[in-house]
A and B are shown apart, each in its own frame.
Chain A
Amino acid sequence: MKINSINISSFGRLEDYKMDFHDGFNLIYGENENGKTTVMEFIKMMFYGSIQTSRTSLDKNARKKYLPWSGKPMAGSIDFENGGVRYRLLREFRGSNSTDKITLMNLDLGKSENLTGKSDVGYAVFSIGGAAFEKSVFIDNSVVMGSSADADGEINARLANIKDTGDEDVSLEKVIKRINSAKENLISKSGKKGRLADAREALKLLGNELITAENTDNEREKMQQFLDTKEIDAADILRQRGELFEKLKNSEKSELKSKLLEFVKQAELYEECERTLTLTDGQKASKEFCAEIDAALDEVTAAEIAARQQKAAVDALTDEIATMQNAKNAFADTDALKREKASVTERLREKETMLHSITLAAQPTKARFNPILLILGALLIAVGILGGVLSEMPALFVFSAVGIILLLLSFILKPNNKNAAEASDAKAACEKEINELNGRLDELDRQINDITVRVSTNESIIAAKREEALKRQTELLNTQNTLAALTAKLLSLAGRYKPLGDIDAVRAAVDEIENNLAQLDRYKIAAEYAAKGTKCSTLADAKEKLALLSDTPTDGGDHAKYQEELGALDKKKNALATEIAEIKTELRTKFKGVRSVPEIENEMAAIKAEIDEMDRYYEALLVAEDTLNSAFSELRRSFGGVMEGRALDIFARLTDNKYSTVTVSKNFDISVSDRDNFGMHSAEYLSRGATHQAYFALRLALSELLGGESGGLPILLDDVFSQYDDKRLLTAFRFLAEYSEENQVIFFTCHGDCRQIAENSGANIINM
């Protein structure tokens, strides 16, 4: 491969600048500021664009550093030949490699080549990247190779495939880059980004969430346990309530049983009582029945009373008649009075005789009454009575009244008897005696008359009494008959209850019935009272229920006490229920939305599985990377000898065979050993000129190796021998002249001695 010419339209200070190159050794001479470095940089940038870009360092920003002074667009072209084909590369520099306008003309065919990656046109031409270009064929005055991973990687990769197999497409750098890219896709260099890092972070966050969830679960569990204890308490209370309810139930059953027993007892007594009240006709004795009997009894009683009264009356009349009869009999016994009267009369007569004698002796005797008035009076009485009765004129009875008055006056207005004095005393005595006798006689007469009257009256009364007694007796008989009938009726009526002998028995029966009826009512009331709450209305019901309660004790405990205890327990229960409800509400709300441990664990498991996959992949990437590096090392050991051999060959020629060994590390650090001293020495310990020679040798060796079978690469040298003494300079140019027989050499210098030596060595001199 060789560069034929360049045509700079505008690049830095150069404007419409052309330069042709020859095959072999080209030396471009120019003084400082003539544009040597600009031309060299132009060539590099035509192929690679800007390899480095820095906003702050102008040296590291060629696109900025070489902005045309004319202000025209940075542009140019370069003609080169590769593989026997002539090309022209045209490039208009813009903002970046990717925006540069690049055209590669096949001059032989007269058409543009298709550039798939136009920014990599240098790679297409030289088969090496920009960094490798800078470290191999592009040799400026800083010959010593600094460490650059990219360049080292590429060069190493290129070297690693030096052609035993012709496989040029493989680049260790690219392979490693791809692997690193895959690694970084999983975990970035910072370790903070990438799928695996993200997944691990997600897993870590989930781990934290899991801890939180577990803490939450613990808290929830504790609350749940607390709730459980409360619920156990509640259950215990419910159990106690249950027991109390059982007791209450038993006590209620006992109470019911007691009531039923009482009900049955009362009901049986009632029935028994009712049986005693069953009448012969099957009907039940009732108050009406009793009233009926009572009515009959009242009739009988009334009849009895009447009979008794009537009998009493009869008896009284009989007694009265007997008394009156006795009295009559007593009156009828007037003989003593009569005898006394006779005696008195006798004596009176004697006295009167005596008096008469005396009176006759002394004075005539005075009449005891006025006979005229007496007769007149009697007459008027008779006229008045008769006239009043017969003429029915009550006024006529006045005559009778006048008659009576006259009659009385007859005894008052009697004529006076005036006798002698002497005889007067005797007479007086006699008269006194006579008066007493008369008085006695009158008394006796009155008594006898009275007795007579009374006897007469008694007899009529007795007769009347007898008549009345008879009447009463009749009535009594009637009454007694009625009584007998009523009694018979009563007995018949009351006999419906039970056979009864007499009224007293009836009364006793009525009393008994009434007592039984009252008892029946009492039994009924008692039974009804007992039946309350039993839901039984009949004895049969009660007995049926009782049968069901056969095992129930009658003493079921203190119902009221149980209810009181139940009330207290209910209060506790309600308080506990409230507390439980509050805990449950808190449990339901406090943890709402918090993901559960299994949910998180499931998600973690899924992520872990993914992480495991990625870990395995990452591990595989590491293994691949490690294996690639070790494979490279192994390979490098095989190609290293070639590179080192060629470098030693060049180095020896440049140093007149002073050094016997050159070793190059992976990082292109050079160690040498000279023929006179044992041991390897790092190039850093050599003189500056020797160090430059060593690295120059290495770069040329690399260029040869990188150029490969398709032809050597042109090398671009920018005053690389400035550190050399004359001898080294001469040796170096001689070597370059030989080297240029195989590879185009373009050497830029501002030193006239270099130009001279090169010219002497056969170089084509191009003056700028």
Chain B
Amino acid sequence: MNNSVRILHTADWHLGAAFSYLSHAKRQTRKAELILTGEKILNICKKNEIPLLLLPGDVFDSNSANADTVSAFLGCVRKYSDTRVVIAAGNHDPLTADSPFLCSPLPQNLYILGTNDECIYFEDIGVRVYGKSFKNVYMQSSERFSIIPPTDDIINIMVLHGDTEADSNYNRITPEFIRNSGMDYIALGHIHTFSGVRQLDSVYYAYPGCPEPHGFDETGEMGVICAVVSKGKVEHQFVPTAARRHETVRIDIGAATDNAAAAEIVKAELRSRFGETFDKNLYKIILCGEIQENMNISTDEVLARIADDVFFAKLRNETRFSADLQSLSNENTLKGKFVKTMLEKISAEPDNKALDSALNIGLRAFFTEVKYDEN
């Protein structure tokens, strides 16, 4: 009997996601990259002789995923037949009658947990895998899993899609649930960023996040968890898998004298932060810093100047004019009175970001056109 098992924990692939903010061609590229990343993950299992891949839900962005996407996924799993893939369907791809998992012939190495508490015993690797799939878009939480694992040497792992946030309709997972589960490891899905491997009493649990980001709320390194689970111990490694990163970056273009210079600063900064492969990524760039009064930053122009250097970018202008606010506030002018009044308001409500923004907007309006500047 094995006393430990090697696993790969990934979730929230969202195959078939729309990527609606991208152009058609890039959208198709990203959709294809989701599949390729999936294959990359299975290949990690193969190379590292990981017998068990845990996939707690949202494999597909919806049950309406097109046939090609479903076929590509199933083909990929079938190709890596030495890896057992255990899926607990999530809120995006619940196990309803129209689920791709119920409408297609499945590879023999693919195990779909049912909508009731279930346990699959892989005797040869000494692992019991517990879990259940979403039966619908919403799933009310359970206080405890109905199948309590026996106390023995067999590794008990749960695969579950759910939300640790309070008041969630998406199978709220409470600390009590985790504590009472009797599991050695709970592979969770739903949250799109890596949570780190956490521990409650003797139970380890984690969200691996998406292996491939879908939007700017999924920034940073995205990947999967490779772990060795044994009784009372989980050794893990976070393995990056994403073909591209989504990053939100604030770039100070205060040194720029015009839009061309601002674009150069942006490119240099991106290269500096993300290396020579910065061009692969998708960026939400917030232009900031103090600029001269006579400089009119155009996000459209800056974007046009960097568009060929990155896969995708959108910009927001949060620059400020360079000004000595205290000195200005002493002027007996409209501008001076405005700055003074705004500084007083900010002082009274230092946490009110709108005031800070209002000061910047108002001051800017004295010199140039203002608008909500995000392309």
Binding site for B on A (CB under 8 A): 157, 160-161, 164-165, 167, 169-170, 172, 174-176, 178-179, 181-182, 185-186, 195-196, 217, 220-221, 223-224, 227, 583-584, 587-588, 591-599, 603, 606, 609, 613-614, 616-625, 627-628, 630-632, 634-635, 638
Contacts and interface: CB of A to CB of B under 8 A. Distances in A.
Given A165-B331, A593-B64, A599-B62, A627 B353 contact: no
B335 A170 contact: yes
Contacts of B341: 627, 630-631, 634
A616 B374 CA distance: 13
B10 to A, nearest CB: 19
Nearest to B359: A624
B233 interface: no
B333 A165 contact: yes
Contacts of A631: 334, 337-338, 340-341
Interface string B319-358: 0000000000001111111101110010000000111011
Given A167-B331, A588-B98, A634-B337, 9 more contacts: A167-B333, A170-B334, A179-B370, A221-B136, A591-B98, A592-B64, A596-B63, A623-B358, A627-B342
A164 to B, nearest CB: 4
B334 A597 contact: no
A614 B372 contact: yes
A186 B361 contact: no
Interface in B57-101: 61-64, 91-92, 96-98
A226 B215 CA distance: 37
B224 to A, nearest CB: 22
A172 B334 contact: yes
CB-CB nearest 4 A-B residue pairs: A624-B362, A587-B97, A623-B358, A620-B357
Task: Give the residue among B63, B102, B333, B342 with the most A Cβ atoms within 10 A.
Answer: B333
B365 A175 contact: yes
Nearest to A186: B372
Contacts, number: 156
Interface string B245-284: 0000000000000000000000000000000000000000
A617 B362 contact: no
Given A217-B136, A596-B92, A628-B334, A224 B97 contact: yes
B103 interface: yes
A593 B358 CA distance: 44
Nearest to B95: A224
Nearest to A227: B97
Given A165-B331, A170-B335, A606 B215 contact: yes
B98 A587 contact: yes
Nearest to A588: B98
B interface: dominant SS = loop
Task: Give the residue among B64, B137, B340 with the most A Cβ atoms within 10 A.
Answer: B137
8 contacts: A165-B331, A170-B334, A178-B368, A179-B362, A182-B369, A587-B97, A597-B138, A599-B61
Contacts of A630: 341
B371 interface: yes
A618 B361 CA distance: 10
A185 B372 contact: yes
B366 interface: yes
Contacts of A169: 366
B236 interface: no
B342 to A, nearest CB: 6
A223 B135 CA distance: 12
A178 B365 contact: yes
A167 B367 CA distance: 12
A182 B371 CA distance: 4
A592 B362 CA distance: 50
A132 to B, nearest CB: 16
B98 A179 contact: no
B199 to A, nearest CB: 29
A220 B353 contact: no
Interface of B: 18, 20, 61-64, 91-92, 96-98, 102-103, 135-138, 215, 217, 331-338, 340-342, 345, 353-355, 357-362, 365-366, 368-372, 374
Task: Give the residue among A598, A603, A622, A625 with the most B Cβ atoms within 10 A.
Answer: A598
A224 B136 contact: yes
A276 B249 CA distance: 104
Contacts of B335: 167, 170
Nearest to A184: B371
B64 A182 contact: no
A164 B370 contact: no
B371 A181 contact: yes
Contacts of A587: 96-98
Nearest to A157: B334
A748 to B, nearest CB: 35
Nearest to A580: B97
Contacts of A628: 334, 338, 362, 365
A599 B374 CA distance: 24
A624 B333 contact: no
A181 B364 CA distance: 13
Contacts of B334: 157, 160-161, 170, 172, 175, 628, 631-632, 635
A513 to B, nearest CB: 62
Given A227-B97, A620-B358, A165 B342 contact: no
Contact of A624 (B20, B64, B135, B365): B365
Task: Give the residue among B97, B98, B217, B333 with the most A Cβ atoms within 10 A.
Answer: B97
A593 B371 CA distance: 38
Contacts of A160: 333-334
A588 B359 CA distance: 55
B218 to A, nearest CB: 11
Contacts of B353: 616
Nearest to A162: B333
A638 B136 contact: no
Contact of B358 (A594, A596, A621): A621
Contacts of A623: 342, 345, 354-355, 358
Nearest to B356: A620
A598 B358 CA distance: 35
A60 to B, nearest CB: 29
A167 B98 CA distance: 69
A239 to B, nearest CB: 15
A195 B374 CA distance: 11
Given A167-B333, A170-B334, A584 B97 contact: yes
Contacts of A598: 62, 91-92, 137
A591 B137 CA distance: 13
Contacts of B215: 606
Task: Give the residue among A157, A160, A196 with the most B Cβ atoms within 10 A.
Answer: A160
Contact of A178 (B64, B103, B359, B370): B370
Given A160-B334, A227-B97, A617-B372, A596 B355 contact: no
Contacts of B362: 175, 179, 624-625, 627-628
Contacts of A596: 62-64, 92, 137
A261 B359 CA distance: 102
Contact of B374 (A588, A597, A613): A613
A158 B348 CA distance: 30
A630 B337 CA distance: 9
B34 to A, nearest CB: 15
Contacts of B332: 164-165, 635, 638
Nearest to A610: B374
Contacts of B361: 179, 182, 617, 620-621, 624
Contacts of B217: 609
B369 A178 contact: yes
Contact of A619 (B331, B354, B374): B354
A182 B365 CA distance: 10
A622 B360 CA distance: 13
Given A175-B362, A588-B98, A224 B92 contact: no
A164 B18 CA distance: 58
B182 to A, nearest CB: 27
A593 to B, nearest CB: 6
B339 to A, nearest CB: 8
Task: Give the residue among B20, B91, B361 with the most A Cβ atoms within 10 A.
Answer: B361
